[in-house]
């Protein structure tokens, strides 16, 4: 591990020298590439620097203690300092191991997030609407931009299906754990007897991918156009601006009717189609690895029940990490970081358990 860390430190110093070279600075694309690479290495460099400082301080403190000539109270102070340094060094080693784990190449990408009502009829659609708002509020809290690409809603304000684009640094790294089945327990507004019903909605989080990452043969895609519709199927456009794409080999269907322009809707629909095809390839790859490397958090299984939202008790429970919070209204308003941070920590711990011997060269 320390050989890798020394190599990273040398590489960072070399990049720093390049970034200060006037010839490189005048070549903005090259300079930006170097600065970006430095930014990726910087967390490791800082953590390793602090680790080395603590190791040096430990050696110096041990020398002072072994040298003698101290009063007893002074010796006790140095012993306390020694204990603190050992703890910092131990924590630093764990942090460095985590930082050296292979990074998900999709972590910095934008997100295409899909919400679909599941079992539960109209109540499931209303819950789907709650989830859509929750993710938009979370994005707002993080300073990310959102754009609804497609929305199929109901007359009562529910959401049968929605496709949301979220643009922002690290969006996928934090939202990728949201894929799966979300369950709600509450008394529906239409329930006269006051009985608690259980409904569900599914969430799929896909990284936005570029054209070069997924090649689509135009002959494999059937393009249909139709008129946009609003609540309950009411037509809201007098022209055939909405677009439906059908990828024949996989039977994946994508619709987009957010824009008044057919061309723009087609462009957005292809973005969603590329993301779904990319996700399909990742799912197939994950299935091959499932027998030997199964992560409680990171499977992304669309059929996995991941979280329960219980309204009578005001709680939200994430079943993958066993975390329960009694702040459901705040959570639905986008205050999700406590659970997401827990999922990230659990995922990293699981990776360290399984992958620490597979750390790749940087």
* Percent of the chain residues past pLDDT 90, beyond the cut: 28
Is there a single domain that holds both residue 71 and residue 205? no
CB under 8 Å, gap of 24 or more: what pairs does 244-251 form? 244/269, 245/221, 245/269, 245/270, 245/273, 246/221, 246/222, 247/216, 247/220, 247/221, 247/273, 247/277, 248/220, 248/221, 248/222, 249/220, 250/277, 250/280
Structural domain includes residue 104: no
Residue 176 confidence (pLDDT): 93
Query: Are 43 and 141 in the same domain?
Result: no
Q: Is the domain of 146 the same as that of 80?
A: no
Q: Give the CATH number of the domain where residue 281 resides.
A: 3.30.70.1660
> Are 240 and 147 part of one and the same domain?
yes
Question: What's the whole-number mean pLDDT along residues 335-343?
Answer: 94
Secondary structure of residue 54 in the 3-state scheme: helix
Out of 68, 99, 130, pick the residue that ends a domain: 99
Range among 9-23, 104-118, 171-185 with highest mean pLDDT value: 171-185
| Phi, psi for 309 (deg, rounded to 5) | -110, 105
List beta partners, residue 7. none
CA angle, corner 72, sides to 68 and 73, nearest 5? Answer: 125
**Domain presence at residue 61:** yes
In a domain, 360, yes or no: no
- According to the model, what pLDDT value does residue 153 have? 87
Neighbour tally for 101: CB within 10 Å? 16
Is the predicted pLDDT of residue 283 greater than 50, yes or no? yes
Q: How confident is the model at residue 212 (pLDDT cuts 50, 70, 90)?
A: low
Where does the pLDDT of residue 349 fall: very low under 50, low under 70, confident under 90, or very high at 90 and above? confident
Concatenated DSSP letters for 207-228?
E---TTTS---GGGEEEEEE--
Is the residue at 362 inside a domain?
no
For residue 290, how far is the Cα from the chain centroid?
20
Does residue 361 fall inside a structural domain?
no
166 three-class SS: strand
Could you tell me the two tokens for 16? 């720093």
Token representation of residue 206:
């896909």
Instruction: Name the CA dihedral angle for 157, 329, 331, 195, rounded to a multiple of 10 degrees.
Output: -70
Helix (H) or strand (E) holding 151: strand 145-153
The mean pLDDT value of the chain amounts to 83
The token pair at 110 is: 């934008």
> How much is the pLDDT for 134?
97
Instruction: Verify that 190 and 49 share a domain, yes or no.
Output: no
32 assigned to some structural domain:
yes
Higher pLDDT, 317 or 274: 317
Higher pLDDT, 47 or 130: 130
Task: Examine the pLDDT at 228 and tell me if it is beyond 80.
Answer: no
Alpha-helical segments (H) within the chain: 2-19, 22-25, 28-67, 72-99, 121-142, 171-175, 262-289, 328-332, 337-355
- Could you tell me if 73 and 188 lie in one domain? no
Coil, helix or strand at residue 145: strand
pLDDT computed for residue 296 by the predictor? 36
Q: Tens of pLDDT along 46-91?
A: 988 898 898 998 888 888 888 766 778 888 888 888 889 898 998 8
pLDDT at 94 over 50: yes
Tell whether 119 is covered by a domain.
yes
Give pLDDT, residue 290.
Answer: 47
Domain shared by 210 and 341, yes or no: yes
Under 8 Å between Cβ of 47 and 99: yes
* 91 and 173 inside one domain: no
Tens digits of per-residue pLDDT, 260-282? Answer: 788 888 888 888 888 888 888 87
Ranking 2-11, 79-88, 117-126 by mean pLDDT, the lowest is 2-11
Q: Which has the higher per-residue pLDDT, 70 or 172?
A: 172
- In this structure, the answer to whether residues 91 and 172 fall within a common structural domain is no
Q: Which domain holds residue 88?
A: 2-99
Res. 232: pLDDT tops 50: no
pLDDT surpasses 50 at 300: no
240 contacts: CB under 8 Å, gap ≥ 6: 225, 226, 227, 262
Residues pairing with 170 in the sheet: none
The residue out of 49, 71, 99 marking a domain boundary is 99
Number of domains comprising the chain: 2
In the chain, the N- to C-terminal Cα span, in Å, equals 12
Of 75, 99, 123, at which residue does a domain stop? Answer: 99
Asked if residue 57 and residue 146 are part of one domain, the reply reads: no
Pair 44, 192 in one domain: no
For 178-192, how does the pLDDT look when each residue is reduced to its tens digit (9 = 90+)? 999 999 999 887 666
Report the range of poorest mean pLDDT among 71-85, 108-122, 211-225, 338-352.
Answer: 211-225
215 shares a domain with 140: yes
**Residue 106 within a domain:** no
């Amino acid at each position: 591990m320390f050989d890798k860390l020394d190599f990273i430190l040398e590489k960072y110093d070399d990049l720093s020298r390049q970034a200060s070279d006037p010839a490189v600075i005048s070549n903005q694309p090259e300079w930006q590439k170097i600065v970006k690479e430095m930014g990726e290495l910087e967390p490791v460099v800082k953590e390793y620097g602090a680790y080395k400082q603590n190791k040096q301080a430990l050696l110096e403190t041990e020398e002072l203690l072994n040298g003698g000539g101290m009063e007893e109270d002074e010796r006790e102070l140095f012993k306390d300092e020694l204990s603190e340094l050992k703890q910092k060094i131990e924590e630093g080693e764990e942090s460095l191991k985590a930082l050296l784990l292979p990074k998900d190449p999709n972590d910095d990408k934008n997100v295409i997030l899909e919400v679909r009502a599941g079992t539960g009829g109209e109540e499931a659609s209303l819950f789907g609407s709650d989830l859509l708002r929750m993710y938009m509020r979370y994005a707002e809290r993080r300073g990310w931009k959102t754009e609804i690409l497609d929305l199929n809603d109901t007359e009562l304000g529910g959401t049968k299906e929605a496709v949301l684009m979220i643009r922002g640094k690290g969006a996928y790294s934090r939202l990728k754990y949201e894929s799966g089945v979300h369950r709600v327990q509450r008394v529906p507004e239409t329930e006269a007897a006051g009985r608690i019903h259980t409904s569900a909605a599914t969430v799929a989080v896909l990284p936005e991918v570029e054209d070069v990452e997924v090649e689509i043969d135009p002959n494999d895609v059937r393009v249909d156009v139709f008129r946009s519709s609003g609540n309950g199927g009411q037509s809201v456009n007098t022209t055939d601006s909405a677009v439906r794409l059908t990828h024949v080999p996989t039977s994946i269907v994508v619709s987009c009717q957010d824009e008044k322009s057919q061309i723009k809707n087609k462009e957005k629909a292809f973005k969603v189609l590329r993301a779904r095809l990319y996700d399909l390839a990742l799912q197939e790859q994950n299935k091959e690895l499932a027998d030997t490397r199964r992560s409680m958090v990171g499977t992304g299984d669309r059929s996995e029940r991941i979280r329960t939202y219980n309204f009578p008790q005001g709680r939200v429970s994430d079943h993958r990490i066993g975390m329960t919070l009694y702040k459901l209204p705040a959570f639905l308003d986008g205050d999700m970081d406590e659970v997401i941070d827990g999922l990230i920590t659990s995922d990293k711990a699981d990776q360290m358990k399984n992958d620490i011997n597979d750390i790749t060269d940087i």
